[in-house]
Structure 1
Amino acid sequence: MELFDAICLRHSYRGPMEPTPVPREDLERIVGAGIRAPSGKNAQTTQFIIIDDQEVLSVLQGLHPANKAMQQAPAMIACIIDTQPDKIYEGYDFQLEDCAAATENMLLAITALGYASVWIDGWLRVEGRAETVASLLHLPAGKKVQILLPVGRPKEQWDQKERRPFSTRVSYNRYPQPQEPL
C-alpha cells in the first residue's frame, strides 16, 4: 500500500476482530516500523513487547470490556518507556514524543498490512491499569506501559473520521491575527 493511502485509510478501530492469529513476521514488520521512527537525540527510548501468547492475551482482553478490538485482538503491542527518563537535551527528555512517533509508524504499518488497531493510552492512565498491565508483562521497576495497540483483522469496515478542512487548521508563515483568515 502506498504511504499516502495508508495515511488516508488509517483510523481508530474499536470494533470486533477476526480470531485469525497475526503471524509473527507481520508483528515484527509492524514493530520494525516503530523502531525506525525518529527519536530525540537518537536516544531510541521506546521498547516494545509483542504479545501473542493466548494466556497473556486472555488477561489483557478481560481488562477492557468496552473495547471490542482489545477484547478480541489476536495480538497486541505494548510500548514501554522509563518512569524516570534521562534528560538528554537541555534538561528535557523526549520519551513521550519518541513513543508517539513509534506508535504512529506502527499504526500506518498495521493499516498497510490490512490489519486494524486503536491507540490505547488514556485508558491505561486510570484505575491503576498501567500498573496491572506492567505486572502482567513482568516489567522491572522504572518501566511503564505507555501505549497498547491491539492488532488483528477487522470484522467490520470503518472509514477514517472526517477531518476539519485544511484551511481551518493551517496558515502560512505566522499564526493568523483576529479577523484574518487562516
Structure 2
Amino acid sequence: MLSTRFTKHSLVTEVHKTIQPYLSDQSFSIDATMGNGHDTLFLARHSHKVYAFDIQESAIKTTRQRLENNHCLDKVNLIHAGHEEMLKHVPVNKNFAAIIFNLGYLPHSDSAVITQEKSTIRALSAAISLLSTHGIISIMAYPGHTGGQTELQAIIHWCHDLHNKDFVITFIRSMQETTDSPRFFTIQPPTN
C-alpha cells in the first residue's frame, strides 16, 4: 500500500510523533545516523535498548554527551560504523520496533561528508530484515544539498520495489514544502 499525507508540523517533530506509538520500555530500536544525538535520545527515552551508528567521531562524542546529560547513556550502544554495517553490530535475533534514518550531513560539521545512496540502500535493506512485524522504519531525506537529490531518487526507487512486495509505505509531506525541503517516508511490513 502506498499513501501520502500532509502535516502542518515540522517534519522532525512529525518523525518523533509518528514513531513513538511503536515504542515501549521493552523495545529495541536503531538510530542509523546518530548525528548530534537528538533521535538517539528520543529513542533512548522510549525504548529498552538503542543501537546508534555514525561514521564521524564528533557525532559519537556529541551524542554521548547528550545521553549522559539526560541519564540515558546506559540504554544506548554507540557504534562507530556506517549504517550499512548494522547487521554486523546488532543482535539479529531481536525484532526492532523502530529504525530511524536521518540522512544528509552532520549539522555544523563538514557538509562534504554525506550519506551516500549505495550505502543508504544497503542499510535500508538490512533494516527491513531486522524490523519487527509490527515495527516502523522512518527515513528523512534532504534533497537540497549536493548528492541529496540522487540519494532521494534512489530511496524512492527502493520504496517502489518494496511497494510491489506489499509493504506499507507512507510519504509524509510538509504543507510548506519546497523543492529543497526534506522528504519523510515511513515503511512498515506487509499487513496480513
Per the TM superposition, whether the score is higher than 0.5 is no
Structure possessing the higher relative contact order (Cα contacts under 8 Å, 6 or more residues apart): 1
TM range (shorter): under 0.3
Structure with bigger gyration radius: 1
TM-score scaled by length of structure 1: 0.26
TM-score scaled by length of structure 2: 0.25
Greater share of strand residues, 1 or 2? 2
